Structure 1
Amino acid sequence: MNLPVAEKSIAVLPFENRSEEKQNAYFADGVQGEILTDLAKVADLKVISRTSVMQYKSGVQHNVRQIGQELGVAHVVEGSVQRSGNRVRVNVQLVDARTDRQLWAQTYDRNLADVFAIQSEIAKAIATELDAKLSPNEESEILRPPTNDITAFDLYTRARQFFSTPTFNVNSKPNLLEAVDLLNQSVARDPSFFRAYCQLAFVHDALYFYGHDHTPARLALAETAIQAASGLSPDAGELHLARAWNLYWGYLDYDGALAELEVARRTLPNDPQILFLTSLIQRRQGHWEESIRTFERAAELDPRNFAVLQSIAGNCATLGRYAEQQRWLGRVLALEPNDAATRVILASVDFERKADTAPLHQMIESVRATNPAAVPNIDDWWLHCALAERDAAAARNALATMGKDPIDVGHDVYCTRPFMEGVIARIAKDNDKAQSAFTEARAEQENVVRAQPNFGPAWCVLGLIDAALGHKEEALREGRRAVELLPVEKDAVRGPAMIKYLAMIAAWVGDNELACQQLASAIRPPHTVTYGQLKLLPFWDPLRGDPCFEKLVASLAPK
Structure 2
Amino acid sequence: MPGGIKKDIQLEIGHVLFIDIVGYSKRSINEQRGLLDRLNQIVRSTEEFRSAEAAGRLLKIPTGDGMALVFYKNQEEPVECAVAISRVLEEHPELQLRMGVHSGPVSGVIDVNEREHWQPLLHDLGTCEVKHDVRVGVVNLFSDGVGNPHIPKKIQLCKKQNARGRWILLATALLLLAGIITTFTIVSRRPVRSNYPIEKKSIAVLPFENLSEEKANAFFADGVQDEILTNLAKISDLKVISRTSVMQYKSGVARNLRQIAEDLGVGHILEGSVQRAANRVHVNAQLIDARTDTHVWAQTYDRTLDDIFKVEGEIASNIATALNAKLTETEQQILTAKPTDSTAAHDAYLRGLALEPRGWYSAEAKETLRRCYAEAVRLDPKFVAAWARLARIDSLMVFLGTDATQERRDAARQALDTAINLQPDSTDTLLAQGYYDYWVLRDYPKAKDLFAQVRNRLPNSAEVPAALALVARRQGLWDESLNYSDQALTFDPRNPQLLADRAWTYTIIRRFDDALKTSDRLLKISPTDPDAIAYRAAIFHAQGKLDEAQKLLSGLHLDFANDSVTEILIQHWLFNRDYQNLIKTLQPALTDLGISAMGRALYREAIGFAQLRSGDKAAANKTLLQARSDLESLRQRDANNPELVARLGAVNAYLGEEETALQEAENAAALLPASQDAVVGPALEEDLARVEAEVGENDRAIARLQKLLNTPYSSVSHTGPITRALLRLHPSWDPLRGDPRFQKLLVELAPNG
Query: Normalising by structure 2, what TM-score?
Result: 0.70
Does residue 199 (structure 1) correspond to residue 389 (structure 2)? The answer is yes
Q: Which runs of 5+ in 2 are unaligned?
A: 1-36, 42-61, 63-197, 714-720
Contact conserved, 1:11 with 1:53, CA < 8 A, in 2?
Answer: yes
2: CA distance, partners of 1:246 / 1:179: 17
Residue 460 of structure 1 is matched in structure 2 by 646
What is the identity, as a one-letter code, of the residue corresponding to 1:245? Answer: Y
Contact conserved, 1:49 with 1:302, CA < 8 A, in 2?
Answer: yes
Residue 729 of structure 2 is matched in structure 1 by 536
1: CA distance, partners of 2:294 / 2:201: 16
Contact conserved, 1:406 with 1:416, CA < 8 A, in 2?
Answer: no
Q: Counterpart of 1:7 in 2: which secondary structure?
A: coil
The correspondence for 2:433, drawn from 224, 230, 243, is 243
Residue 437 of structure 1 is matched in structure 2 by 623
Contact conserved, 1:382 with 1:398, CA < 8 A, in 2?
Answer: no
Residue 217 of structure 2 is matched in structure 1 by 24
Q: Counterpart of 1:93 in 2: which secondary structure?
A: strand
Residue 479 of structure 1 is matched in structure 2 by 665
Contact conserved, 1:283 with 1:291, CA < 8 A, in 2?
Answer: yes
Contact conserved, 2:682 with 2:708, CA < 8 A, in 1?
Answer: yes
Residue 310 of structure 1 is matched in structure 2 by 500
Identify the range of structure 1 (64-73 vs 373-382) with the bigger mean alpha-carbon deviation: 373-382
Q: Which runs of 5+ in 1 are unaligned?
A: none
2: CA distance, partners of 1:535 / 1:177: 40
Residue 253 of structure 2 is matched in structure 1 by 60
Report Cα offsets for 1:437-466 as digits up to 9, x if no partner: 110111111122222222211111110111
Residue 549 of structure 2 is matched in structure 1 by 360
CA deviation after TM superposition for structure 1 residue 482, in Å: 1.0
Contact conserved, 2:205 with 2:246, CA < 8 A, in 1?
Answer: yes
Identify the range of structure 1 (109-118 vs 177-186) with the bigger mean alpha-carbon deviation: 109-118
1: CA distance, partners of 2:694 / 2:728: 16
Residue 291 of structure 1 is matched in structure 2 by 481
Q: Counterpart of 1:107 in 2: which secondary structure?
A: strand
CA deviation after TM superposition for structure 1 residue 416, in Å: 2.7
Structure 2 vs 1, CA of residues 58 and 90 (structure 1 numbering), >3 Å: closer, same or farther? Answer: closer
Does residue 329 (structure 1) correspond to residue 519 (structure 2)? The answer is yes
Residue 417 of structure 1 is matched in structure 2 by 603
Does residue 276 (structure 1) correspond to residue 463 (structure 2)? The answer is no
What is the identity, as a one-letter code, of the residue corresponding to 2:342? Answer: D
Structure 2 vs 1, CA of residues 29 and 523 (structure 1 numbering), >3 Å: closer, same or farther? Answer: same
The correspondence for 1:10, drawn from 174, 195, 203, is 203
Structure 2 vs 1, CA of residues 400 and 20 (structure 1 numbering), >3 Å: closer, same or farther? Answer: farther
C-alpha RMSD of matched pairs (Å):
2.3
Contact conserved, 1:171 with 1:207, CA < 8 A, in 2?
Answer: no
Report Cα offsets for 1:343-378 as digits up to 9, x if no partner: 34334433211x23111112211345xx99999884
The correspondence for 2:291, drawn from 69, 84, 98, is 98
The correspondence for 1:345, drawn from 508, 514, 535, is 535
Q: Output aligned runs, 1:123-202, within 5 Å.
A: 123-164=316-357, 170-202=360-392
CA deviation after TM superposition for structure 1 residue 495, in Å: 0.4
CA deviation after TM superposition for structure 1 residue 117, in Å: 1.4
What is the identity, as a one-letter code, of the residue corresponding to 1:363? Answer: L
Contact conserved, 2:561 with 2:595, CA < 8 A, in 1?
Answer: no
Structure 2 vs 1, CA of residues 556 and 504 (structure 1 numbering), >3 Å: closer, same or farther? Answer: farther
Residue 392 of structure 1 is matched in structure 2 by 579
What is the identity, as a one-letter code, of the residue corresponding to 1:451? Answer: R
Report Cα offsets for 1:7-55 as digits up to 9, x if no partner: 2111111111111111100011111111111111111111111111111
Contact conserved, 1:416 with 1:444, CA < 8 A, in 2?
Answer: no
What is the identity, as a one-letter code, of the residue corresponding to 2:219? Answer: Y
2: CA distance, partners of 1:215 / 1:309: 31
2: CA distance, partners of 1:275 / 1:179: 24
Contact conserved, 2:416 with 2:429, CA < 8 A, in 1?
Answer: yes
Q: Counterpart of 2:555 in 1: which secondary structure?
A: helix
What is the identity, as a one-letter code, of the residue corresponding to 2:658? Answer: K
What is the identity, as a one-letter code, of the residue corresponding to 1:429? Answer: G
1: CA distance, partners of 2:242 / 2:636: 41
What is the identity, as a one-letter code, of the residue corresponding to 1:159? Answer: G
Residue 79 of structure 1 is matched in structure 2 by 272
Identity among equivalent pairs (%): 38
What is the identity, as a one-letter code, of the residue corresponding to 1:106? Answer: Q
Structure 2 vs 1, CA of residues 401 and 162 (structure 1 numbering), >3 Å: closer, same or farther? Answer: farther
Contact conserved, 2:608 with 2:624, CA < 8 A, in 1?
Answer: yes
2: CA distance, partners of 1:386 / 1:556: 27
Q: Counterpart of 2:309 in 1: which secondary structure?
A: helix
Contact conserved, 1:159 with 1:179, CA < 8 A, in 2?
Answer: yes
Q: Counterpart of 2:673 in 1: which secondary structure?
A: coil
Identify the range of structure 1 (189-198 vs 451-460) with the bigger mean alpha-carbon deviation: 451-460
What is the identity, as a one-letter code, of the residue corresponding to 2:439? Answer: W
Contact conserved, 1:380 with 1:407, CA < 8 A, in 2?
Answer: no
Contact conserved, 2:496 with 2:526, CA < 8 A, in 1?
Answer: no
Residue 7 of structure 2 is matched in structure 1 by none
1: CA distance, partners of 2:207 / 2:251: 8
What is the identity, as a one-letter code, of the residue corresponding to 2:551? Answer: Q
Q: Counterpart of 2:357 in 1: which secondary structure?
A: coil
CA deviation after TM superposition for structure 1 residue 556, in Å: 6.3
Structure 2 vs 1, CA of residues 106 and 401 (structure 1 numbering), >3 Å: closer, same or farther? Answer: farther
Identify the range of structure 1 (399-408 vs 465-474) with the bigger mean alpha-carbon deviation: 399-408
Q: Which runs of 4+ in 1 moved over 4 A?
A: 1-5, 371-377, 400-404, 406-409, 556-559
Q: Counterpart of 1:179 in 2: which secondary structure?
A: helix
CA deviation after TM superposition for structure 1 residue 161, in Å: 2.9
Does residue 69 (structure 1) correspond to residue 255 (structure 2)? The answer is no
Q: How many residue pairs get matched? A: 549
CA deviation after TM superposition for structure 1 residue 160, in Å: 2.0
CA deviation after TM superposition for structure 1 residue 408, in Å: 9.4
Structure 2 vs 1, CA of residues 526 and 208 (structure 1 numbering), >3 Å: closer, same or farther? Answer: same
Q: Counterpart of 2:297 in 1: which secondary structure?
A: strand
2: CA distance, partners of 1:407 / 1:15: 40
1: CA distance, partners of 2:608 / 2:560: 27
What is the identity, as a one-letter code, of the residue corresponding to 2:611? Answer: A
Q: Counterpart of 2:699 in 1: which secondary structure?
A: helix
What is the identity, as a one-letter code, of the residue corresponding to 1:546? Answer: D
Q: Counterpart of 1:204 in 2: which secondary structure?
A: helix
Contact conserved, 2:570 with 2:606, CA < 8 A, in 1?
Answer: no
Structure 2 vs 1, CA of residues 377 and 210 (structure 1 numbering), >3 Å: closer, same or farther? Answer: closer
Query: Normalising by structure 1, what TM-score?
Result: 0.93
Q: Counterpart of 1:453 in 2: which secondary structure?
A: coil
CA deviation after TM superposition for structure 1 residue 554, in Å: 2.3
What is the identity, as a one-letter code, of the residue corresponding to 2:382? Answer: S
Q: Counterpart of 1:57 in 2: which secondary structure?
A: coil
CA deviation after TM superposition for structure 1 residue 96, in Å: 0.8
2: CA distance, partners of 1:394 / 1:149: 53
Report Cα offsets for 1:452-506 as digits up to 9, x if no partner: 2222111111101111111111111111111111111100000000100000111
Does residue 379 (structure 1) correspond to residue 579 (structure 2)? The answer is no
Does residue 492 (structure 1) correspond to residue 666 (structure 2)? The answer is no
Structure 2 vs 1, CA of residues 400 and 69 (structure 1 numbering), >3 Å: closer, same or farther? Answer: farther
2: CA distance, partners of 1:229 / 1:456: 30
CA deviation after TM superposition for structure 1 residue 215, in Å: 2.1
Contact conserved, 1:10 with 1:76, CA < 8 A, in 2?
Answer: yes
What is the identity, as a one-letter code, of the residue corresponding to 1:118? Answer: V
Structure 2 vs 1, CA of residues 407 and 356 (structure 1 numbering), >3 Å: closer, same or farther? Answer: farther
Residue 31 of structure 2 is matched in structure 1 by none
